[in-house]
Amino acid sequence: MCGIVGFNGHHEAAAVLLDGLTKLEYRGYDSAGIAVRDGSKDATIVKAKGRLDHLKEKTDNGRSVIGTCGIGHTRWATHGEPSENNAHPHCSDDGNVIGVHNGIIENYQELKEKLLRNGYTFYSETDTEVAIKLVDYYYKKYLGTPVDAINHALVRIRGSYALELMFKEYPDEIYAARKDSPMILGVADGESFIASDVPAILKHTRTVYYIGNLQMARVGKGEITFYNLDGDEIEIEPKTIDWDAEAAEKSGYEHFMMKEIHEQPKAVADTLHSAVKDGKIDLAGLGLTEEEIRELQQIYIVACGSAYHVGVAAQYTIEDLADIPVRVELASEFRYRHIPLAQNALVIIISQSGETADSLAALRKAKEKNLKTLGIVNVIGSSIAREADHVFYTMAGPEIAVATTKAYSAQLIAADCIAVYFGMVRGRITEEKGAEYLDALESLPKQIEKILEDKERLQWFASKQSNAHDVFFIGRGMDYAVTLEGSLKLKEISYVHSEAYAAGELKHGTISLIEDGTLVISVLTQKALIEKTVSNMVEVKSRGAYLMGLTTYGNYDIEDVADFTTYIPDTDPHFAISLAVVPLQLLAYYFAVSRGLDVDKPRNLAKSVTVE
Ligand code: M6R
């Protein structure tokens, strides 16, 4: 992630910068640094490894750094380990250009080689040092203005960046440039502010400029000039920040979807804990008697969209652990189809909102047929929660992004609890086995956190692939279930066509769509099925597919076949998709961001579908 701040005014800059960085610390905290210039004197650069507090200590809360113009950075390491050496700001060999950066320079290796050939040396492992030295190179080569030099560099750089630069020969100015990484600028009382996000400057100004992709800014004291990639001056209208509840609840995340992806460990833990009594999974509180559970001959799971995908996964878990036949039905089909419904059946309706029209109608149909009904619902007091005979509330909290993430994960864990509990009640799994499963489930929140720590790699991959026209997802068993969700996430927010296929089914027609460079994402968490899926990967690869593998740590052979592999922690295969879904959500998110789309409010969609 990383957070950047900048200040050019009349007050001491260091205090303003450190205060801004405090508001952005959620974006990264493995090291931080500031560079401050006092008129024409050389800049003072101070960096510290670890939390921002270390930098504050080192600078006596900014008091030891003098100057009214400066930039700052809080880092979440991508290129190079967390260390003072890799911390920003970075500077050119002679201190001519100093800068901070949030984003990823994809072609930094190629650029570094060019600079090495031109006599530059490198002291850090970061892509940022390369970008700054590239600007320095063009500044000296063409002897133009900073804007000219930055323009030349931006044409060569591939990737994402929010860059702030200071030039020795322009001591009272900061230069900024942006592509695909957030950055705002603000002005008040003859002073200027720059930040990755609004909270960092809100106490100074509510008048902000949203700089566009491939645009630059020259930031003086209280005046900002914007430029396009040709170096021509452009106008950007200021916007007044009028914090509404919705924006305030983003807690600093750029989108609700990303915030909610990060809330999944809590959503999963809270939902699980609601189902645990005295150290055991115990759902007696739902009101289904043990006798009713033992007599069940059939379960129907009925839902729409992502909730339906939870049903597809739950089919595997419930059949395997509780030994009850399960049919998964789309609510819009179930409600109109004649189905000879089995007696002693339980109909489980899964719905985040509890208001989805088709799901509600399906529930009513089941009740008309005198079948027992159980709602897995997130919104308390919603129609499905009120009308179902029994309710298992997921504890995901309010979900605002249209693309569901934390509600899906909470539904999944609820279904896992039902499978384990029904399995124990029916004597299909022992209490010891139930305890083992509970252990595995309890580890999931921490494991999800671990996956989230590595999201920059997926951001990088997504930025390279986001121009794809068609993406195919393949997997077997429960991996197939999670590919359905991965594919829906991708299409609903990034508008890239994608399809999920049971890996063995692809060759029955769809494989004809695979051509040179088609992205195929293969999920391999089901140990017993990995070899089979690898064979299917080889089949598509030999027809030109570009392969991404998503598997558990240890399955390193996948790298022999896949062009890009991403790993999740190991767990019991019944629960692995609770982990596998996270990289797929992130991938969809980063695809949408790279394509400049409204992640939280995709076109044509609504959060709650209350019409059929
Ligand atoms: O509120 P529900 O869970 O009943 O909603 C069902 C679907 O509309 C929902 O999952 C939809 O598919 C999401 N937009 C997927 O991200």
Q: Go through 349-379 and write b for each residue having 16 or more CB atoms within 10 A of its CB, e for each that does not.
A: bbbbbbbbbbbbbbbbbbeeeebbbbbbbbb
pLDDT of residue 612: 65
Residues with CB under 6 A from ligand 1: 304-307, 351-353, 356, 359, 402-404, 488, 492, 608-609
Say how many Å lie between the CA of residue 317 and the centre of ligand 1: 21
Beta partners for residue 13, in sequence order: none
The contacts found for 119-125 with CB under 8 angstroms, 24 or more apart, are 120/92, 120/93, 121/93, 123/85, 124/80, 124/85, 124/86, 124/90, 125/79, 125/80, 125/81, 125/86
Set 2, 69, 91, 417: catalytic member: 2
Low-confidence ranges of the chain (pLDDT < 70): 1, 25-29, 180, 242-249, 381, 607-608, 610-612
Say how many Å lie between the CA of residue 40 and the centre of ligand 1: 58
Pocket test for ligand 1, best of 261, 335, 353, 487 (most atoms within 8 A of CB): 353
At residue 381, the 3 state secondary structure works out as coil
Pocket test for ligand 1, best of 261, 301, 356 (most atoms within 8 A of CB): 356
d(CA 338, CA 507): 32
For the CA of 405, the nearest atom of ligand 1: 16
Q: 536-590: per-residue pLDDT in tens?
A: 999 999 999 999 999 999 999 999 999 999 999 999 999 999 999 999 999 999 9
Q: What is the pTM of this model?
A: 0.64
Residue ID of nearest Cα to ligand 1 atom 4? 351
Residue ID of nearest Cα to ligand 1 atom 7? 305
d(CA 90, CA 593): 27
Say how many Å lie between the CA of residue 64 and the centre of ligand 1: 54
Tell me the two tokens of residue 172. 């009272």
Handedness of CA 327, 496, 251, 72 (dihedral sign): positive
- Amino acid residing at 423: G
pLDDT of residue 538: 94
CB atoms within 10 A of CB 332: 19
For the CA of 408, the nearest atom of ligand 1: 10
For the CA of 352, the nearest atom of ligand 1: 3
Residue ID of nearest Cα to ligand 1 atom 11? 305
Which residues does 442 contact at the CB level (< 8 Å), separation at least 6? 269, 272
Say how many Å lie between the CA of residue 33 and the centre of ligand 1: 43
| 417 is known as an active-site residue | no
d(CA 316, CA 320): 6
Pocket test for ligand 1, best of 301, 352, 359, 394 (most atoms within 8 A of CB): 352
Set 250, 433, 527, 607: catalytic member: 607
Q: What is the 3-state secondary structure (H, E, C) of 439-497?
A: HHHHHHHHHHHHHHHCHHHHHHHHHHHCCCCEEEEEECCHHHHHHHHHHHHHHHHHCCE
Say how many Å lie between the CA of residue 73 and the centre of ligand 1: 38
Residue ID of nearest Cα to ligand 1 atom 9? 305
pLDDT of residue 251: 79
| 607 is known as an active-site residue | yes
pLDDT of residue 604: 80
Q: 172-211: per-residue pLDDT in tens?
A: 999 999 986 778 999 999 999 999 877 788 889 988 898 8
Q: Go through 296-313 and write b for each residue having 16 or more CB atoms within 10 A of its CB, e for each that does not.
A: bebbbbbbbbbbbbbbbb
Pocket test for ligand 1, best of 255, 261, 304, 598 (most atoms within 8 A of CB): 304
For the CA of 404, the nearest atom of ligand 1: 16
The residue written with tokens 């070899």 in the block is 531
d(CA 74, CA 87): 8
Say how many Å lie between the CA of residue 465 and the centre of ligand 1: 26
Say how many Å lie between the CA of residue 241 and the centre of ligand 1: 31
For the CA of 384, the nearest atom of ligand 1: 4
Say how many Å lie between the CA of residue 404 and the centre of ligand 1: 7
Residue ID of nearest Cα to ligand 1 atom 14? 403
Tell me the two tokens of residue 343. 């007696």
For the CA of 353, the nearest atom of ligand 1: 1
